[in-house]
Structure 1
Amino acid sequence: MGHLIGAIGSSHAPSISFAFDAKHQDRAEWKPFFDAYQPVHDWLKAQAVTTMIVIYNDHLNQFQFDAYPTFAMGISQYMNIADEGMGARDFAKIPGATTLGWDLAKSLLADEFDMTICQEMQLDHGVMSVLPLLMPSTWPIRIIPIHVNVLREPLPTPHRCWALGKSIGRFIKNTSSNERIVVTATGGLSHQIHGDNFGFVNPEWDNRFMDLITHEPEVLAQASHEDFIYRGGMESVEMMLWLTMRGALSETTRSLKEVQRFYWAPMLTGYGLLALEAEN
């Protein structure tokens, strides 16, 4: 039986990468944000997590709109860092979990999730703005990245993301692997970076969302894309990726312990962080 240690939800944004690489961790405008991740960093180490399944969306780096899959996963010994226009960031390649990854892919296919399998993958800020905040850059935790389309119509529904998470949770529960696994989702929270509502942020909704994702995720699973967009702006549809993370916990966990919860809205997006430990 696999060990699902818990789950993490985190915003992702290019600005996080820029601030991290520029060593702005102690600057007043960034210190609250970076400090919030240290307890989660410490928790992952204390729990001896070996594998992290990361739910994210690619921002036209691994995929282009001429072939943009609904669901895709990276199964590779190592994955590269994407060059998002200013050169690839100065990190070592990210280690993958190939044996567990192939087993997961077969299980998802049996549950009728037709994944695009990428044996070569480059990870953009959807993963890499968050990963260095969660672990040392020696990368002691192997990664299985799962991309979900939240950019190009037609999008999967929130309920479909919830179902994907439940399928991942069943796999972890039933696998014979002894891996210690955390499921992480990145994206959101409220933001709109184009059009008449440029710069829109809704802290009240963001905090309500984190309440619901913890205690009543089924309510969010029944929502529509329009529900998310109305409350959080066009790009906030990324928030439904957190449902995948939470769905995994719903299959294996009787109760949850909140390791960390943080919210901050100083710029063009609501930054959220939520770490939940599974208590079986």
Structure 2
Amino acid sequence: MEVDHGLSVPLSVMFGDVEKWPVKVIPLHVNVVQYPVPSGQRCYDLGRAIRKAVESMDEDLNVHIWGTGGISHQLQGSRAGLINKEWDNQFLNDLIANPKKLVKKPHVEYVREAGSEDIELVMWLIARTAMCEEGEEPIVKHPLATP
């Protein structure tokens, strides 16, 4: 599978040159370009299925789960450059404390409030539910900002 900046940039920031990554990577492509994009419930369930699969392994694995994509942003059109900090902060709070709330949030709300590229956040929901049960706080989060 050929991967794009959504995978290569964060892992390169973490581990350096792509050819020298010290980990095995299993990319998971989530459609956020062409409608219909997956529902919040489907993303939530996918994250839980990933966690269940990892937990079922006999060996003790060190698994990293990365949800990539940007929070509020729009790259083109009259709203190019859009940043909605209030939306971003609420999303992050819900992601940690109440991810089930995000399941009910319609895609059009992501786009209206935070820009056309914000639908990428469904990948964060997958990663969140893959890490731990609702009510448990994920162990680590490292937001990366672009200059």
The answer to whether the 8 Å contact 1:207/1:263 transfers is no
Q: What is the root-mean-square deviation of aligned Cα atoms in Å?
A: 2.1
The answer to whether the 8 Å contact 1:201/1:265 transfers is no
The corresponding residue for 1:126 is: 6
Give the match's secondary structure for 1:160. Answer: helix
2:84 maps to 1:196: no
Q: Which has the larger share of strand?
A: 1
2:123 maps to 1:241: yes
The corresponding residue for 1:164 is: 46
Gaps of at least 5 residues in structure 1 are 1-120, 267-280
Gaps of at least 5 residues in structure 2 are none
Give the TM-score of the pair, scaled to structure 2: 0.87
The answer to whether the 8 Å contact 1:165/1:248 transfers is yes
Give the match's secondary structure for 1:148. Answer: coil
1:241-280 equivalence runs, <5 A: 241-251=123-133, 255-256=136-137, 259-262=140-143, 264=145
1:221 deviation in Å? 1.4
The answer to whether the 8 Å contact 2:110/2:119 transfers is yes
Query: Hey, what's the Cα distance between the residues in 1 that align with 2:103 and 2:72?
Result: 17
1:67-216 equivalence runs, <5 A: 121-137=1-17, 138-216=20-98
More deviation, 254-263/172-181: 254-263
Larger C-alpha radius of gyration, 1 or 2? Answer: 1
1:67-117 deviations in Å (ceiling 9; x for gaps): xxxxxxxxxxxxxxxxxxxxxxxxxxxxxxxxxxxxxxxxxxxxxxxxxxx
Q: Which has the larger share of helix?
A: 2
Give the match's secondary structure for 1:255. Answer: coil
Q: Percent of aligned pairs with the same residue?
A: 32
Query: Hey, what's the Cα distance between the residues in 1 that align with 2:144 and 2:63?
Result: 25
Give the TM-score of the pair, scaled to structure 1: 0.48
How many residues in Structure 1 have an aligned counterpart in Structure 2?
A: 145
Give the match's secondary structure for 2:72. Answer: coil
